[in-house]
Structure 1
């Protein structure tokens, strides 16, 4: 089988895997719902129970869709950062976007505003999302200003890490002076969650994903040129500062919005691009962008199913599951290739 045929067939099997895992994800949960009823409800039927329909349409279906969007968005963000910085350990949060979002949420939850107050209860998700978006947005503005002034991406990476350290220090100080209840609420947010989203929030995330994807397909040639070096990209006539600006904007939109609504979710953005490069044996972003998006969606659906502990009333933190599955993937890829220097080869 030649390489082109392999890629075409793999691009065919990935959507099929997404469909099957999506239906399986909706079928699993603390309440057992027969598979025929699940199919009937998601295809517009009634099913045998009104409560089953309510569970699937108002909880499981939005959660499964959120898994698709989160997996695709974080994976694409990680791919962009690894290409921009030519660093296999770069992820969607290296520029401090997640830390900025965490700071915004910490100011909301640890600075005396109770999300469990009667008047605020119905607006909790939106308050947290607005706080996280504000924090990540402020960090984004700072990073954008810096990106227009620095000459190379490595300097930008170091500055992004410093932004993350600064915001992390402020969060630590807020935690030190907060009550145990406030710290616990903030800690629950840092675990990440796909189950708290309603249809309007999933719609917003989906729209942002489409915008990010559109920017990515525009950036296919710049991303391919940056793979070799910034100097090589300049020799091809690429405006490196403009390309860097658009890459950071796309990553920030995706990673920032996902963190705002779902909390920080680790390792998906770091592990999935490596796994996809291994599966497709290519570094061409024309192939990698859709492949990474679909692979990320698949892995996120699997992680969500594991977190649900089918048959149990307990739900594990999604952040812990992605780390448990993501870390071994990166270790395995390093051992398979023998060196991280070969990560971008293909």
Structure 2
């Protein structure tokens, strides 16, 4: 039950996250590795154009897609992490910890390196690479999720399932290393560039598909607040509410895997966001009620992802810093805080 005080707190949190996300999102459009005057950016956004055609191109073909991609990817990874943490009742669960991100990367590696660019040969280099990333990430993440679902039908201990996920992650990483070792220099270069993780790789042509698939999955997650709250109260309570505990966990893992696979396919592996954002949302709300926690996590994920994107382009004189070099700087202190205060903070009640 949401009290008047918690409603007031939630309203403040939602308003703050929304305003901050808009401010940082606009900053990502106005600030970049190429210095464009403020008034020229404004003119471009309102349709008047800029003095240099290249500035218009940078704003509309690079910065705006980058900003939208960063917001959606951050929200998707954050929800993926939240679903996993609730499913496993463990604050350190996440798509990267459980091997889903690594599995998606392994799928891309198998098609890029192991298949010798088969899809590139069928569809052409540009479209083939695009199709390879999507198909590979979905297949890789799907295999890992299927393995986790298979083990969950036999093993009910969530800690053991978490350990199995970590082992699968190591096995996937080993497979990727072997594929890199036996592949040509050109194939390895193509995979390494993708593996760095970047929001800038999503073009204006790819953005509609990425946005549509991500938004559908996020809307799907919004319908899960009641079963997620029931899961916090124990398996017996879940069954009393009419849910099948095994089917519920399988559904949560599937949605989490789909969200991770979509982001990994389009942006490459992005670390830490799925792990840290749910904790930030819980701490801001001081609640584990998923009715408010899910939308707060979506907003918080978008904000932190946009903030990392802004920080990556601030030192414009030396180029753009990889996003995965920024996320640990923000993520590690948060995880240390969670570990040190786990007994004092009640995350799953």
TM above 0.5 = yes
Residues 281 and 293, structure 2, Cα contact 8 Å, conserved in 1: yes
Task: Report the more deviating stretch, 303-312 or 255-264.
Answer: 303-312
> 1:341/1:113 Cα in 2 relative to 1: closer, same or farther (>3 Å)?
farther
3-state SS, counterpart of residue 94 of structure 2: coil
Match of 2:321 among 316, 320, 323: 316
Q: Cα offset for 1:165?
A: 3.1
**Structure-2 separation of matches of 1:41 and 1:340:** 52
What does residue 220 of structure 1 align with?
A: 225
**Structure-2 separation of matches of 1:207 and 1:147:** 31
**Structure-1 separation of matches of 2:118 and 2:45:** 37
Question: Do residues 4 (structure 1) and 1 (structure 2) align?
Answer: no
Q: Structure 2: 5+ residue runs without aligned partners?
A: none
Q: Structure 1: 5+ residue runs without aligned partners?
A: none
Task: Report the more deviating stretch, 53-62 or 8-17.
Answer: 8-17
Task: Report the more deviating stretch, 153-162 or 207-216.
Answer: 153-162
Q: Cα offset for 1:54?
A: 0.9
**Structure-2 separation of matches of 1:231 and 1:200:** 48
Match of 1:55 among 46, 54, 58: 58
**Structure-2 separation of matches of 1:145 and 1:333:** 30
Deviations 1:202-258 (A, max 9, x none): 222222222222222221011111123223423444321221122112111111110
Q: Cα offset for 1:150?
A: 4.8
> 1:184/1:50 Cα in 2 relative to 1: closer, same or farther (>3 Å)?
closer
Question: Do residues 279 (structure 1) and 284 (structure 2) align?
Answer: yes
Residues 78 and 269, structure 1, Cα contact 8 Å, conserved in 2: yes
Residues 275 and 333, structure 1, Cα contact 8 Å, conserved in 2: no
Deviations 1:94-113 (A, max 9, x none): 44322222112222333343
What does residue 176 of structure 2 align with?
A: 171
Residues 94 and 274, structure 2, Cα contact 8 Å, conserved in 1: yes
Task: Report the more deviating stretch, 185-194 or 299-308.
Answer: 185-194
**Structure-1 separation of matches of 2:193 and 2:119:** 12
TM-score (norm 2): 0.88
3-state SS, counterpart of residue 200 of structure 2: coil
Question: Do residues 193 (structure 1) and 198 (structure 2) align?
Answer: yes
Residues 274 and 343, structure 1, Cα contact 8 Å, conserved in 2: no
Deviations 1:187-206 (A, max 9, x none): 33222011111123222222
TM-score (norm 1): 0.89
Residues 99 and 166, structure 2, Cα contact 8 Å, conserved in 1: yes
**Structure-2 separation of matches of 1:80 and 1:341:** 22
Which 4+ stretches in 1 moved above 6 angstroms?
A: 114-118
1:246-265 → structure 2 map (5 Å cutoff): 246-265=251-270
Question: Do residues 126 (structure 1) and 131 (structure 2) align?
Answer: yes
What does residue 36 of structure 1 align with?
A: 39
